[in-house]
Structure 1
Amino acid sequence: MIRVLFVCTGNTCRSPMAEAILKNKGIPGIEVKSAGVYATEGMEASMHAKQVLEDNEMGQGHSSSPLTADAISWATHIFTMTEGHKSILVNSFPAAMDKTFTLKEFVYDDKYDRDISDPYGGSQKIYRETFEELQEAISRLINKLEE
């Protein structure tokens, strides 16, 4: 069983979109969750994130979760949205170092910019662009996980 944990800041924009994208692929043997390094428990996904997911027919009933030791131990693969998230995570949970990557670091061999753009506070258009960036990276992620 592959258990993927997506991590961002507040668990209301990028990681919930990534979680929804991968879950909606319906791939047997892959479980998905998301969390935030500074998340508050129980927040809904942002309005624009929910709209982008709805526009792409991806159901979600997201409720934010802070990053916990239980979530770290559950995951076989942890993908952060930025180098900063990765640094915070590894500093807090050093034992997770070998299974923690930025999403772009894992799926692109030579990508210089390893951060998924942060749409927080931006327009619906910016959220759509981040969604598309995540979709491309997650398509590559599926190929790598299935190798």
Structure 2
Amino acid sequence: MINVVFVCLGNICRSPMAEAVMRHKVMEKGLVEQIRIDSAGTGNWHVGKPPHEGTRKLLDGYQISYANMTARQFVSADFTEFDYIICMDNSNAENVRSLPGGEEAEIIKFMDLLPNEKLREVPDPYYTGNFEEVYELVNAGCDVLLNRIQEEHPLT
């Protein structure tokens, strides 16, 4: 089983959107039994809450499920549980790296999956309100990530 976690600040906008989109792509490829997707936040403000209304509305529009998703905080134990730790911005990556065990973890910045994009961080729609922009980045980046996982781990 390959384990992927997306990390943002509060785990209600960007990372749950990426989790839902990636789960959808994994399901479409028939890889649900081989790839597990999760998300977490570096902060604890929204623990136990569902994705943000803007994220839910956008995912509903694309018919992408976010069923049973609730916010949780990233913890040190996640370093051993997840093969891919994908952070939405530099601050998230620094916060994750500052946890015990984080200095040795391989942390991928989401926008490094999209080197041709001018943006180097996924904008936070909690502040910008632009959920569609985030979806476009997340959708493209998840395609790249899924291809990378399939190249690095031959799956059937």
What is the CA deviation profile of residues 13-44 of structure 1, one whole-angstrom value per residue up to 9, with x for unaligned ones?
00000000000111411100000000332011
CA distance in 1: counterparts of 2:148 and 2:42, whole angstroms: 25
Equivalent position of 1:114 in the other structure: 120
Does 2:43 match 1:38? yes
CA distance in 2: counterparts of 1:99 and 1:50, whole angstroms: 30
Aligned counterparts, 1:39-54, within 5 A = 39=44, 40-54=46-60
Aligned counterparts, 1:62-77, within 5 A = 62-77=69-84
CA distance in 2: counterparts of 1:44 and 1:118, whole angstroms: 17
What is the CA deviation profile of residues 83-132 of structure 1, one whole-angstrom value per residue up to 9, with x for unaligned ones?
11111111113446442111122x23566643111111444xx1011111
Structure 1 segments (4+ residues) deviating >3 Å = 93-98, 108-113
What is the CA deviation profile of residues 41-92 of structure 1, one whole-angstrom value per residue up to 9, with x for unaligned ones?
2011111100000100011122100111233321011000001111111111
CA distance in 2: counterparts of 1:2 and 1:10, whole angstroms: 24
CA distance in 1: counterparts of 2:24 and 2:139, whole angstroms: 11
CA distance in 1: counterparts of 2:17 and 2:139, whole angstroms: 9
TM-score by length of 1: 0.89
The one-letter amino acid paired with 1:32 is I
CA contact (8 A) 1:72 1:96 kept: no
CA contact (8 A) 2:41 2:71 kept: yes
Task: Specify the SS of the correspondent of 1:89.
Answer: helix
In angstroms, what is the RMSD of aligned CA positions?
Answer: 1.8
Unaligned runs of 5+ in 1: none
Equivalent position of 2:154 in the other structure: none
Equivalent position of 2:139 in the other structure: 135
Unaligned runs of 5+ in 2: 152-156
For residue 93 of structure 2, the aligned residue among 65, 86, 89 is 86
Does 2:18 match 1:21? no
Task: Specify the SS of the correspondent of 2:77.
Answer: helix
Equivalent position of 1:101 in the other structure: 108
For residue 57 of structure 1, the aligned residue among 63, 68, 93 is 63
